Amino acid sequence: MLSVITRILLTSTMSISTVLRMVLNVEQSIRAICNCVMVALAEFEAITTKALIPRVYPFKSIDIKEAVCPERLDVPPPPPSNIPKEALSVDKDTPDYHVPRDSRLIRLTGVHPFNSEAPLTELYNQGFLTSPELFYVRNHGPVPRVQEEDIPKWELRIEGLVENPLVLNFKQILQDFDQFTLPVTLVCAGNRRKEQNQVRKSKGFSWGPAGVSTALFTGPLMSEVIWKARPFRRAKYVCMEGADKLPNGFYGTSVKLNWVMDPNRGFMLAHKMNGEPLRPDHGRPLRAVVPGQIGGRSVKWLTKLILTESPSDNWYHIYDNRVLPTMISPEVASKDTKWWKDERYAIYDLNINSAAAYPQHGEVLSLSTSGPIYTAKGYAYSGGGRRITRVEVSLDKGASWNLTEINYPEDKYRDFESDLFGGRVDMHWRETCFCWCLWSLEIPVSNLEKSDAILVRAMDESMNIQPRDMYWSVLGMMNNPWFRISITNENGTLKFEHPTQPALMPGGWMEQVKKAGGNLTNGFWGETSEGKPLEEAPVKEINMKKDGLNNTIELEELRQHDSSEEPWFVVNGEVYDGTKFLEDHPGGAQSIISAAGRDASEEFLAIHSETAKAMMLDYHIGTLSKAAIEGLKDASQEEQGQCSGEVFLEPRSWKKAELCKKQIVSWDTRVFTFQLQHEEQTVGLPTGQHLMLKLKDPSAANKSLIRAYTPFSQTDRKATMELLVKIYAATNTTKGGQMTTALDGLQIGATVEFKGPIGKFRYLGRGKITLNEKEREVNSFRMICGGSGITPIFQVLRAVMQDPEDMLNCVVIDGNRMEEDILCRAELDAFAKMKAPQCTIVHSLTKATETWTGRRGRISKELLEEFASPSEGSMVLICGPESMEKSAKEILLALGWKEVDIVLF
């Protein structure tokens, strides 16, 4: 090109700028011609090779021995697969009632949505390939229900910056494109997150080390499908979208277009997995498979490929699958969205990682009966097509390392020349590695006997190596420090412990180190560099005692203040006078009166914030004597479990009840039914008040969780009581609720404890209420609620609606995200019909569908001005998330409501 330009300049009178413009126009024309030729060649190749490649409709599973000749079967076959026939009982009352699953999978997020991994040993024992039933599952919400008869009509749209937008049905995807079969390892970016959660709770749920699986995927290359749509030159990204409808829209993400078009990267659209059609949890009928990158980029239930100039603006692309700087706390990340929108922190290629499957967690090796050699085994993988080049094991805290033997089953497919499951195994030319490898090392038992831990680390061909120390981040993703198995030598045996166990399963050396106050972040795993155990870290406590106060209080004096006149109570052996706070306590005077003359430590510390604890200085009056502490303890034990006859609840002591039924109302809502102490017993809860529920904290020994709830069942119901509870499961962007997830994990027959009533508000009926024990009359209620905050509102509304002579006017403003989040909807609508216009129900949704005909958006000033303007004799009742309560109250006060007429439950 330079010689051409030089010749023109020497022989012509044209200016240099004119010559350059002319050359550029020629270059653009040549490029355009080349593009047309390449398209024609691609289409010609597709036509000429169709007859050579067998097309197998994917609804019938084909055994690997049917696909190839037995004498050429030199590749690892899929493990035996037992297809589950029906949904598990735990799923039958969820949106996934139609999805059969294997009961061996470990659930990481409660009942729903379904996120799971296989037990590590069973996963490893399956070998190089994983059966679909033990393949890990990452679902953000309900699994789309795809009927078999609908699959041929499944559509994939290719749109955006393309010259030829396409809508391909499933049959076209099978018949119009070459089919390939490739082994690919998929890994969740949260693999091994439980270790990060032990150091400090991240915003993600607790994966163990089995968030990884490998399968043979069959389908066309994504590049061929996109090439047919002819992308414009300015297209830089491929945005993918699935059919799984979630609270923040459909799941979607993006990858760079040049990655998709690079044949070395192997991006594909898969409709088969180990030779059988994709199962529902794995994207039936079509999914993206993105080798070498995190699982979150391999979109399931694929419906769209959109070519754009910029990365996806999908909510899940922005707020999921990121590694924010380690100094960014969850609080900072929640307040400032710039951290999430910075593409530098998005995760694409997997990082390097490894783990040991043997020794197993909890495995015990007898020194007297074992052989001289123990074989340690595990896996390793890396991202971006990089090959693992070494896996090393240390028995002396990393001072020296031993090379393991590495088995690369993926390489056997490179020389495989036949079709497999209806797809070409075209790997002979590709050097990129998209699968895990399996390592092993024979270790003399005498060396294990001298060691306190097995350390594992891996390195890839780019010399990326696993770090010793953890890089903690808000979402807890890409955790890959050295994998450590501790060894305890006692009584002639060696006991092995992995770092953690997945989900809420107890166990692991990290849990023990944390309880002992050891530092989990310094690389010495709870020890100092000199090898001495760290002393237990002191717990930072808020000071609740007046400095210099030296006043000892005996039990007799405390009991003189066990009434509503001057209620004294005890927290951690210190005595407090609650008299001045009776009227202002958010839980009502009864909360303090119930604790009068008693030890309120457990419930006070479980419920109250650091702000409330700091206020206790003003009420501190002395210290209980040792004898008084013992006397108080004995009295408390005598009261526990005593039955009070017709009424179950006691305001001053905990009463036990048994969980007898658990009904799944929706994907995140349950009704828990508790058996009272005898058949004729009622709860004994006044309308508008609450009770306290206490159960053992499954994540911490000797600790209880205590929260206030309002029963959903009728107040006069006998023998049983129902609680309607929304389960706040941990996700990548939210912490989750300790109490609700613990409740969801209770088994039928489990025992919990209740105390009550509490609350400053009571509805006496027909317009009469008490507020802080002061009676007054109202002529209407304006009820504002959100989510599960409907329960106390519903209790009061029901009392009004079920009394034919109660003429109180009620307006309920109920805010939710989506239509399916509306709780008690049928009952609310029935009340509105039964007593119209006395009862008005207003629903407002922040994530409404196009078909929603009700109000949209948050509970705003405009909405409250329309339905909750101040009126003489009216009162506002509010219950919902703290932010909603605060916002609503501020708006109401600005509209002219008086503080005394606003009640926050």
Q: Is residue 463, in this structure, part of any structural domain at all?
A: yes
Q: Give the separation between CA 450 and CA 586, rounded to whole angstroms.
A: 59
Helices 790-801 and 825-834 cross at an angle (nearest 10°) of 30
Domain that holds residue 767: 763-905
Q: Which residues pair with 643 in a beta bridge?
A: none
| Residue 297 DSSP label | G
Token readout for 619 is 């009420």
pTM over 0.85: no
| DSSP one-letter code for 716 | T
Q: How many angstroms separate the CA atoms of 477 and 322, rounded? A: 7
Contact (CB, 8 A) for 654 and 755: yes
Q: What span, in angstroms and rounded, lies between the C-alpha atoms of 205 and 190?
A: 8
CB 289 within 8 A of CB 301: no
User: Residue 820: what pLDDT?
Assistant: 82
Q: How far is CA 116 from the centre of its chain?
A: 11
**8 Å CB contact between 324 and 289:** no
- CB atoms < 10 A from the CB of 887, how many? 18
Query: Can you tell me the mean pLDDT for 220-243?
Result: 97
**Which position among 96, 102, 244, 320 bears the catalytic label?**
320
In this prediction, residue 69 carries a pLDDT of: 41
Residues 564 and 462 in one domain: no
Whole-angstrom distance, CA of residue 661 vs CA of residue 658: 9
Q: Residue 638 — pLDDT band, cuts 50, 70, 90? A: low
83, part of any domain: no
Cβ contacts of 723 within 8 Å, gap of 6 or more: 671, 672, 674, 693, 709, 711, 712, 791
Q: CA gyration radius for the chain?
A: 33
CATH code of 458's domain: 2.60.40.650
**Alpha helix segments (H runs only) across 470-575:** 509-515, 555-559
Sheet architecture: strand order including 839-845: 855-856, 839-845, 809-816, 780-786, 874-879, 902-904
Residue 592: its pLDDT value, please? 63
Q: Quick one: 475 and 621 in the same domain?
A: no
State the pLDDT at residue 837.
84
- State the CB neighbour count (10 A cutoff) for residue 503: 20
- The per-residue pLDDT for range 585-597, each reduced to its tens digit, is 655 555 666 677 7
Q: Strands, E, within 227-327: which ranges?
A: 237-246, 249-256, 268-270, 272-273, 276-277, 287-289, 302-308
Q: Are 475 and 559 found together in one domain?
A: no
**Residue 556 shares a structural domain with residue 510:** no
Q: Which of 61-70, 252-261, 331-340, 783-792 has the lowest mean pLDDT?
A: 61-70
Same domain as 508, residue 425 = yes
Q: What is the mean pLDDT of residues 570-581?
A: 84
Q: What's the average model confidence in pLDDT over 822-846? A: 88
Check whether residue 577 and residue 509 sit in a common domain. no
**Do residues 239 and 252 touch, judged by C-beta distance below 8 A?**
yes
Vertex 241, ends 237 and 246: CA angle to 5°?
135
pLDDT, tens digit, for every residue of 503-548?
A: 988 899 998 888 777 778 777 777 654 445 545 444 456 788 888 8
- CATH number (domain holding residue 779): 3.40.50.80
188 is catalytic: yes
Closest C-alpha among 621, 612, 568, 564 to residue 586: 612
Total domains in the chain come to 3
| Residue partners of 105: CB distance under 8 A and separation at least 6 | 116, 117, 118, 133, 134, 137
- Looking at the domain assignment, is residue 635 inside a domain? yes
Model pLDDT, residue 385: 96
194 in a structural domain:
no
CA distance 203 to 475: 5
Shared domain for 499 and 559, answered yes or no, is: no
From the list 91, 93, 96, 188, the catalytic residue is: 188
Pairing state of beta strands 552-553 and 388-394? unpaired
The domain boundary, picked from 470, 500, 515, lies at: 515
Of the three residues 639, 659, 677, the one that is the final residue of a domain is 639
Whether residues 388 and 504 share a domain: the answer is yes
The whole-angstrom separation of Cα 418 and Cα 784 is 66
Determine, yes or no, domain membership for 198. Answer: no
On whether residue 122 sits in a domain, the answer given is: no
The whole-angstrom distance between residue 787's C-alpha and the CA centroid of its chain comes to 19
Residue 175 has pLDDT above 80, yes or no: yes
Determine the average pLDDT of the residues in 351-363: 97
Q: Specify the CATH number for the domain of residue 592.
A: 3.10.120.10
582, 605, 639 — which closes off a domain? 639
Could you tell me if 869 and 811 lie in one domain?
yes
Token pair listed for 413:
């497919």
pLDDT on residue 49: 35
488 in the same domain as 615: no
Could you give the count of Cα atoms lying within 13 Å of 461 in the half-sphere of its Cβ? 8
Same domain, 500 and 632: no
Higher pLDDT, 41 or 509: 509
Domain membership of residue 475 (yes or no) is yes
DSSP 301: S
Candidates 892, 877, 863; CA nearest to 781 is 877
Of residues 563 and 1, the one with the higher pLDDT is 563
Gap between the Cα atoms of 55 and 175, Å rounded: 7
Q: Tell me the pLDDT band of 294, cut-offs 50, 70 and 90.
A: very high
Whether 871 maps to a domain, the answer reads: yes
Max intra-chain CA distance, the chain: 117
Q: How far apart are CA 104 and CA 126, in angstroms?
A: 14
Sign of CA dihedral 876, 881, 882, 886: negative
Model confidence band, residue 760 (pLDDT cutoffs 50, 70, 90): confident
320 tagged catalytic: yes
Q: Which entry of 191, 321, 464, 732 is annotated as an active-site residue? A: 321
Q: 188 among the known binding-site residues?
A: yes
Q: What is d(CA 144, CA 113) in angstroms, rounded to the nearest whole number?
A: 12
| Per-residue pLDDT, 1 | 47
Report how far residue 567's alpha carbon sits from residue 558's, in angstroms, rounded to the nearest whole number: 9
Length of the chain in residues, anyone?
905
pLDDT of residue 43: 45
Do 503 and 566 lie in a common domain? Answer: no
- Helix 16-50 / helix 222-229 crossing angle, nearest 10 deg: 120
